[in-house]
Every structure is written in structure tokens, then in C-alpha cells.
């Protein structure tokens, strides 16, 4: 701070007002930087939120239809191939006989 001893009261007030104006300008510039920082912080937060929310909403909308199509195709595949028999002692022999018949049929 400036030493105002020996200056008239009017000069002291002018100098104080000038210093006050300079400090106010510095504070204003810093305030503008803070406002920009907060603005971009909000934009980035919104983008991050959208990156989480949008895939969830799209999943809720589109996954049921995709899952039903997949299940429909999968059940259709099982119907074409037939059910797989359970493997126990008796059915294992039947499976081996069927496999031998297939090998003989392809020759």
C-alpha cells in the first residue's frame, strides 16, 4: 500500500480510488476465469451424465426386441436339430449306433 503522508486528503482519496479500481479490475478478470471454468465444468458433467444415461435408455428400448429375436432364433435352431437326448448307459449305445449308421450312410 502506498504511503500517503503529506498528501492532501483529496489526493489521498484519488489514489485510493485508483488502487481500488485496479484491484476491482483484477478481481473481475479472475471472476471471469472462474465463471468460464464453472461453465465448462458443467458442460463436461452433462456430457459424462449423458454417456451413462443414453446407453441405459437405449438398452431399455432396444434390448427386449433384440433378446426376443435371439431367443426366437435359438429356439428355432433347437427345433430344427431336435432335442439332445440325455446321456446315460442305454442312450449312449443308441447314440453310438446312430453315429455308426451316419458314417455308413455317408460312404
So what's the pLDDT on residue 98? 83
- Report CA Rg, the chain: 41
Q: Note whether residue 42 is domain-resident.
A: yes
Q: Note whether residue 2 is domain-resident.
A: no
Task: Report residue 14's pLDDT band, with 50, 70 and 90 as the boundaries.
Answer: very high
Instruction: Give the residue ranges of DSSP H helices in 1-107.
Output: 9-81, 89-106
Q: Note whether residue 25 is domain-resident.
A: yes
**Structural domain count, the chain:** 1
Query: pTM for the complete prediction?
Result: 0.50
Q: Note whether residue 86 is domain-resident.
A: yes
Which domain range does residue 52 map to?
A: 9-106
Q: Note whether residue 3 is domain-resident.
A: no
Q: Percent of the chain scored above 70 by pLDDT?
A: 79
What number is the average pLDDT over the span 15-43?
Answer: 98
Q: Note whether residue 1 is domain-resident.
A: no
CB–CB of 15/2 below 8 Å? yes
Amino acid at each position: 500500500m502506498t504511503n500517503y503522508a503529506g498528501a492532501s486528503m483529496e489526493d489521498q482519496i484519488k489514489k485510493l480510488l485508483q488502487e481500488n479500481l485496479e484491484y476491482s479490475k483484477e478481481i473481475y478478470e479472475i471472476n471471469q476465469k472462474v465463471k468460464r471454468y464453472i461453465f465448462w465444468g458443467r458442460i463436461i458433467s452433462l456430457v459424462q451424465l449423458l454417456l451413462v444415461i443414453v446407453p441405459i435408455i437405449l438398452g431399455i428400448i432396444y434390448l427386449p426386441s433384440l433378446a426376443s429375436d435371439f431367443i426366437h432364433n435359438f429356439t428355432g435352431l433347437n427345433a430344427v436339430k431336435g432335442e439332445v437326448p440325455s446321456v446315460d448307459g442305454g442312450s449312449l449305445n443308441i447314440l453310438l449306433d446312430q453315429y455308426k449308421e451316419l458314417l455308413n450312410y455317408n460312404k
